A and B are shown apart, each in its own frame.
Chain A
Amino acid sequence: MLVYDTTLTSRLLLGTSRYPSPAVLMEAVKSSGTDVVTVSLRRESSGERSGQGFFSIIRSLGVRVLPNTAGCHSVKEAVTTAHMAREVFDTRWIKLEVIGDRTTLQPDVFGLVEAAKILCEDGFQVFPYTTEDLVVADRLLDAGCRVLMPWGAPIGSGQGLNNVVGLRAMRARFPEVPLIVDAGIGVPSHAARALELGMDGVLINTAVARAGDPVGMARAFADAVKAGRAAFVAQPMLPSDVAIPSTPELGLAHLV
């Protein structure tokens, strides 16, 4: 998968929040085989030394860091956080979240487009957390985004893909744009389904971090993502309304 001139070997991206401990997180990252972890930044973690303990663990993972603006509710907050993240992690990548609703944590797409414009002009490579809305997607691409991250379901809900039709439409409309499903994935079959639909990747956090065995679950997701992608490439059969026998009927014995 190619995102902003960077080739990623794994189609699974992993979030780093809510694990039982950093040690478990480190093991989960290893067993997931991921190339990219997301890290959310809080203002108080960005000062000198503060947060360095956790961030040095993240850096020691040897994978790319995609900082995110999780929990930001306004354009200004998101832009400020993005700048802090660029300094702390020395990267142009930013996963842009501008939250519009406290209950569903769904993106404020108006603020999202505005923030994406500001950040792209400022040289950031933006990964916007968005809905499956095609018009919003168009605006984000106009703003300079080269990757889109549509939601599967509300963040942390584990509901899976709530709008398969919408995701299909998005795939059909933007065949060349990397689409990474971000949020709402609960179990590996959801991830496999996303890849079977032709999504380029998935970002998982809670489903791994809050599993009974996060390390085992990370491995399960890695396998599911591989299976889903292989199935997409292999072109799945089309469903039919009627039964079609898989053995030939010709030459069956007629017993009278």
Chain B
Amino acid sequence: MSIVGAGVAGMTCAVEFAERGVPTEVFEQAASFGPHNCSWYAGGMLAPWCECDHSADLVATFGEQSVAWWRKRVPALVQRGSLVLAHGRHISELVSLSRRTGRYEWLDAGGIGELEPALANRFPKGLFFKDEAHIDPREALRSLADRFISLGGRIHFGAASAARSDGNHFVVDCTGLAAREALRELRGVKGEMLVLRSREITLNRPVRLLAPRVPVYIVPRPNGVFMVGATMIESDELSRVTARSVLELLSAACSLHPAFAEAEILEMGSQVRPAFPDNMPRITWRRDRIYINGFFRHGFLLAPAFARMAADAVLSGEICPQVAYENHA
């Protein structure tokens, strides 16, 4: 089995196949895990119920399966839930979210303060999704790589085209937007993010701030580091972070807590998410090649569930509605 692409789709697949005893190799164009890959810039929120707002119910179903998958494989996973807040005049955004999803409880200002003392008395109401979790995406990719290698897998960096399809050789293509020649419906949705460091504020879990124009999330990482994301722009341009986006992300962070105004900016990143028109991932099986693509903003949230479906389809011949069979031998 050859897997092309060492983003979250490729690495979850690699681990899934290797765990089932299939000799597997990963081929990655770049020299290492890094910024050429949109997984590098992910928030790493495993938030199936928050994400129901944007997407279909399937996100919750597959997302829940994926949280369990990650918990077994990434020791650094943190499961303290996530918190969704809105300023007073945007409370209706919270109400709309609550109508579209489940597994939350309403908190008042006191309840918010108990969970996140730094945010006490700043917000009148919030939604708490206690079953949600988060991981550091870069750490998680490395953990998967370690696990994969310990299972006998090999990762070839700097080798995009080494994988060859022949009669006995199966290729899983997890190359994201680079596969758009083969997957015509793929489009790019640009995302920008910031990494900040502040010693003045502590958050225990990811916090989302809903606002009609710019919903923003802040994910705490160890050592006073915070990831702030992410814009969603219908564009394939990945080269630059715009001043407008930085302004929007920082304003939201500062309105969550003024201490962020004094934070150090460690990193500004920009990448393009691959997405299909329904913003849901797809497994496309064409002869001896399988494409797993279109994770949109849900790479870490959904990749394990799709890796498992792909493995079930390939190894056990299970028919799964998420797999599109095209010219399938």
Contacts and interface: CB of A to CB of B under 8 A. Distances in A.
A38 to B, nearest CB: 14
A55 B279 CA distance: 16
Contacts of A52: 187, 236
Q: In the complex, which range does the number of interface residues on chain A fall in?
A: 20 to 34
Interface in B269-287: 276-280
A56 B96 CA distance: 30
Contact of A21 (B233, B236, B279): B279
Nearest to A103: B89
Given A53-B186, A53-B188, A21 B235 contact: no
A42 B235 contact: yes
Contacts of A7: none
A44 B186 contact: no
B55 interface: yes
Interface string A39-60: 0001011010111111111000
Contacts of B55: 20-21
Given A44-B242, A54-B187, A156-B212, A20 B279 contact: yes
A181 B190 CA distance: 32
Contacts of B279: 20-23
Contacts of A49: 236
Contacts of A23: 276-279
Contact of A51 (B236, B276, B280): B236
Interface string B177-206: 000000000111010000000000000000
Contacts, number: 59
A212 interface: yes
B54 A45 contact: no
B277 A22 contact: yes
A26 interface: yes
A45 B233 contact: yes
A51 B277 contact: no
A45 B96 CA distance: 29
A42 B236 CA distance: 12
Nearest to B100: A212
Mostly helix, strand, loop or mixed at chain B's interface?
Answer: loop
Nearest to B92: A158
Contacts of B242: 44
Interface in A199-256: 210, 212
A220 B263 CA distance: 48
B264 interface: no
Nearest to A158: B92
A54 B278 contact: no
Contacts of A42: 233, 235
Interface string B233-274: 111110010100000000000000000000000000000000
A20 B54 contact: yes
B20 interface: no
B237 A57 contact: no
B277 A44 contact: no
Contacts of A20: 54-56, 279
Contacts of B276: 23
B187 A44 contact: no
A24 B100 CA distance: 16
A21 B234 CA distance: 11
Interface string B108-138: 0000000000000000000000000000000
Interface of B: 54-56, 96, 99-100, 186-188, 190, 212, 233-237, 240, 242, 276-280
Please name the 6 residue pairs, one residue from A and one from B, whose CB atoms are nearest each other, closest first.
A53-B187, A54-B234, A23-B278, A21-B279, A50-B237, A23-B277
Interface of A: 20-24, 26, 42, 44-45, 47, 49-57, 156, 210, 212
